[in-house]
Chain A
């Protein structure tokens, strides 16, 4: 290759200025579904903090005292396994939904989608729909523009601030938060979360999904040819355009205008597509008007588009469902059978064994009793495992509600017990309550 044959090189940037997207309003079954989920999730989020249970906030994550309250349940740091299981369930549910019907989470329930939807609605009410907003942004600065822009940002900021306060209200009781001067950290996190809401839903929008969200990038690993994805029916639509000899697609461009990520679904499945189905609603509106069959854009599998048989209940879906079901049942059973008492036995290490009056051998243990209920309780401590073994002295201990007590316990056995270490078992039982009993193993050392 001679040097002058090389093509002329030009500098190309690997970064570009983002082009703002003006999604057009759309009505239809999928838009209504999304709004239903916006209402459901936000009622839970904004309202949940205000519910009361047992004279305290029903849902409260009290980090300072390491207690998580969820209605009647109180979780201690030792219960972190439940959080792990919950995360596993969430992940599996995500896999299952994605395998069946693509990015359902992204399109309907993800906070990024939900808050963007709310912010877009506010924007639309104040600035008008797509064309009006584009005109307003292009236009000169005017009183009208300043008024509308500041009204929009003002309402966005108020809503964001309230979101931040509600979020912090799950960690510091929300009634205290709003009725007194909040602490420095509460203020910081309320503003931080509020700012994140404002920034992500108001300014960043689809960029969060396109550039920041890892889930958006690994979802394709869960897709296969039987996954329902939003698909443009190329065979029916092409060649696009108006007039005789053309397909059903009239090339009105509404599917592009309603898209919150600014893509053209007619180019096929793209990583930017969050599966919100706005293009389905938009296209159906047009198809109805021009008198063509609906569902030119629809949820369809690759196999269906190729004219092959689609199998929704395939091994992948069945395995996900089976594991998800098993873990969910296990979690529910474990929560149902949970004993509201935790016991840790710590053997004294320096003093191995001591000889006491009457030739008995004594070992000392520290029992950490954690009363995980919200009532004060008395516990009876007993020990088994060796002939004549007994707890010496007081063996009933009171533990206040949701507190921990360290109880030194002396255990004595007969001097005739063989030297060496013997497994023993402590039984701690709540007095006056059925079924609150914990057994915990330990070791008794004679010499």
Chain B
């Protein structure tokens, strides 16, 4: 790694650059004149025994353009980074330019975003302009998982159904987008054993009115009331504070088929909604909150 931490290579690059520039100047100078016979109208260069070229001189300013590029390159290397580790007298950097462009964009769009940020989410729901911006933000940042229509897919919640695992008020949705969520269903396969898992699965199906084996439902209910009740509640309506889903409605994050429920109980589930505060600023999250809410209205 020493070749990256020592200053030698910076000096080496700087030296190679400067020597190349000086060499260009020397080369230009040496190629501006030719020694030819007094009577000759050619450039004095003969190829393949007898091929020669007439001297059709270029205008003098043409050679000056070459020298100007040399002066330009030296001035550039003084002003901008490029010569080894020299930072340039203008203090230009890529990050600096990005920041400048971001400031420019903020100047242009900032007032609009600030106006929306100061408006209640309820009012934004009635503003087509705000929802149109919200939709663009959604399509760029959320649709990869939640689908373009917001209806999600297996493992990714449906935002259009009005069923909210973590709570469906504006404040909570905003917190979900900002800080993300980690939904954990612990695995119970080892603790319960195959038969009891199957019984609980039948009971869970019965909660939302799906077909289930009555005997297994009764057996499953007993286990449910001991093992699952802490998170999912005695009535199976879940607990938004923990992100525990409502088992009595028709919304299934991973699927309602028996093998899927058995898999969920046996192996548990780990679901992640990533935090977006590093990606989107508050005003954008505010607009997104309104758009997400509008999906189920």
Contact (A7, B33) CB under 8 Å given A13-B57, A15-B63, A364-B148: no
Known pairs A348-B147, A354-B152 / 8 extra A-B pairs, C-beta < 8 Å: A11-B33, A11-B34, A14-B58, A211-B59, A348-B143, A350-B156, A351-B152, A408-B149
Chain B interface helix/strand/loop/mixed: mixed
CB-based nearest B residue for A362? B151
Contact (A8, B35) CB under 8 Å given A17-B60, A348-B143: no
B32 touching A14, Cβ below 8 Å: yes
Interface bin, chain B: 20 to 34
CB-based nearest A residue for B154? A354
Q: How many A-B residue pairs have CB under 8 A?
A: 96
A415 at the interface (CB under 8 A from B): no
Chain B 29-58 residues near chain A, CB threshold 8 A = 31-39, 43-44, 55, 57-58
Distance from A413 Cβ to chain B, minimum over Cβ atoms (Å): 16
A365 at the interface (CB under 8 A from B): yes
Q: Mark A367-378, 1 if CB is under 8 A from B, else 0.
A: 000000000000
B59 touching A348, Cβ below 8 Å: no
B55 touching A14, Cβ below 8 Å: yes
A13 touching B33, Cβ below 8 Å: yes
Chain B 160-201 residues near chain A, CB threshold 8 A = none
Q: Which residues of B contact A406 (CB under 8 A)?
A: 135-136, 139, 148
Chain B 111-140 residues near chain A, CB threshold 8 A = 135-136, 139
Query: In the bound complex, what is the Cα–Cα distance between A32 and B105 (angstroms)?
Result: 54
Query: In the bound complex, what is the Cα–Cα distance between A16 and B32 (angstroms)?
Result: 10
A10 at the interface (CB under 8 A from B): yes
B147 touching A364, Cβ below 8 Å: yes
Query: In the bound complex, what is the Cα–Cα distance between A409 and B139 (angstroms)?
Result: 13
B27 at the interface (CB under 8 A from A): no
Query: In the bound complex, what is the Cα–Cα distance between A18 and B31 (angstroms)?
Result: 19
CB-based nearest B residue for A203? B61
Chain A 108-130 residues near chain B, CB threshold 8 A = none
Distance from A365 Cβ to chain B, minimum over Cβ atoms (Å): 7
B109 at the interface (CB under 8 A from A): no
Query: In the bound complex, what is the Cα–Cα distance between A362 and B147 (angstroms)?
Result: 11
A12 at the interface (CB under 8 A from B): yes
CB-based nearest A residue for B152? A351
A14 touching B59, Cβ below 8 Å: no
Query: In the bound complex, what is the Cα–Cα distance between A9 and B62 (angstroms)?
Result: 25
A384 at the interface (CB under 8 A from B): no
Distance from B164 Cβ to chain A, minimum over Cβ atoms (Å): 19
B32 touching A15, Cβ below 8 Å: yes
Contact (A366, B33) CB under 8 Å given A10-B38, A12-B44: no
Q: Which residues of A contact B89 (CB under 8 A)?
A: none
Interface size on A, residues (CB 8 A): 28
Q: Which of B34, B136, B143, B154 contacts A12 (CB 8 A)?
A: B34
Q: Which residues of B contact A10 (CB under 8 A)?
A: 35-38
Q: Which residues of A contact B32 (CB under 8 A)?
A: 13-15
A410 at the interface (CB under 8 A from B): yes
- 27 pairs, A vs B, C-beta closer than 8 Å: A7-B38, A8-B37, A9-B38, A10-B37, A12-B55, A14-B33, A14-B34, A15-B59, A15-B60, A16-B59, A17-B59, A17-B60, A211-B59, A348-B143, A351-B151, A351-B153, A351-B156, A354-B153, A354-B154, A364-B147, A364-B151, A366-B143, A406-B136, A406-B139, A408-B143, A408-B149, A409-B149
Q: Mark A404-419, 1 if CB is under 8 A from B, else 0.
A: 0010111000000000
CB-based nearest B residue for A210? B59
Distance from B60 Cβ to chain A, minimum over Cβ atoms (Å): 5
Q: Which residues of A contact B38 (CB under 8 A)?
A: 7-10
Distance from B139 Cβ to chain A, minimum over Cβ atoms (Å): 6
Distance from A7 Cβ to chain B, minimum over Cβ atoms (Å): 4
Q: Which of A211, A350, A364 contacts B58 (CB 8 A)?
A: A211
Query: In the bound complex, what is the Cα–Cα distance between A211 and B149 (angstroms)?
Result: 61
Q: Which residues of A contact B154 (CB under 8 A)?
A: 351, 354
Q: Which of A14, A351, A352, A409 contacts B57 (CB 8 A)?
A: A14
B144 at the interface (CB under 8 A from A): yes
Query: In the bound complex, what is the Cα–Cα distance between A11 and B151 (angstroms)?
Result: 83
Query: In the bound complex, what is the Cα–Cα distance between A351 and B31 (angstroms)?
Result: 66
CB-based nearest A residue for B135? A406
CB-based nearest B residue for A407? B148
Q: Which of B35, B63, B136 contacts A11 (CB 8 A)?
A: B35
Query: In the bound complex, what is the Cα–Cα distance between A350 and B139 (angstroms)?
Result: 13
Q: Which of B55, B62, B145, B150 contacts A350 (CB 8 A)?
A: B145
CB-based nearest B residue for A16? B57
Q: Which residues of A contact B33 (CB under 8 A)?
A: 11-14
Distance from B128 Cβ to chain A, minimum over Cβ atoms (Å): 11
Contact (A350, B144) CB under 8 Å given A12-B33, A12-B34: yes
Q: Which residues of B contact A211 (CB under 8 A)?
A: 58-59, 62
Contact (A15, B35) CB under 8 Å given A348-B147, A350-B156: no
